[in-house]
Amino acid sequence: MDYRIETSDLEARIFISGRLTFNDHGKVRSMIQEMIHSRAERLILMIGGLEFVDSSGLGMILVAREEVAQVDKRLVLRGAQGQVKRVLSVAQLDKIVDIQD
């Protein structure tokens, strides 16, 4: 998994690409810390470039949501495609996280 963050005063867009699996735990931790310390209150996880996500990856998304919520920020997932979109749907993540097309 690779990521980059673009920040404005109102929101931060976090572009994720590649595969999100257990092996990406360290990178996700770093990403979450950057999200928490961002000035933006709305954090948009741009996941259109994500090709694959496993159950560990879903868990990391939930951890990110919880940690940013603790500092009064909101996490949104946007742009899921293919396998990632199917996994999010099967896991019914939309009941916990705001998911947008």
Taking only the tens place, the pLDDT of each residue in 24-71 is 999 999 999 999 999 999 999 999 999 999 999 999 999 999 999 999
pLDDT score at 8: 86
pLDDT score at 66: 97
pLDDT score at 9: 80
pLDDT score at 3: 97
Whether the pTM exceeds 0.75: the reply is yes
Task: Note the helical H segments in 1-101.
Answer: 25-37, 55-69, 82-90
Residue 82: what are its φ and ψ, rounded to 5°? 50, -130
CATH of domain 2-100: 3.30.750.24
